[in-house]
Amino acid sequence: MYEFILSQVRFDSESFSVSFAWTVSYLVSILWQHSLHRFLVFGTGGDYWGSLWVTYVAYTTSLLVSMGMTYALTEYAGLSSQLVWLITLSCTGMFNYFSVKDAFAPADSKEKSS
């Protein structure tokens, strides 16, 4: 199956280049967001690799959910793209915050809350 998919992709096309560049920049931006969360928002306590993994999972999930929300709200609800942007940004922002918050907590505070 993957051979068929790869055979259909034109690696020399502009759309592939744009998509590839966007994907790489998004993955790098998650690393940047993790660093900002770690040093400016939540502190440096907790497991670095565990919090990085949770950040990647949360941000990737919110990306996929926001694509579906954007499509549904513009196609079926008929909302403007600016309003949809505001709605999805608010929802995914809250989701990201609450998803990664516990990942940055030091191990001893996680044990106390359990």
Q: Is the pLDDT of residue 7 over 70?
A: no
Question: Which class for 10: exposed (0-12), middle (13-18), buried (19 or more C-beta within 10 A)?
Answer: exposed
- Sorted by sequence, the CB contacts under 8 Å of residue 105 that are 6+ apart come out as 42, 45, 46, 113
Whether pLDDT at 13 is above 70: no
46 touches 106 (CB < 8 A): yes
Q: What is the pTM assigned to this prediction?
A: 0.71
Residue 42 has pLDDT above 60, yes or no: yes
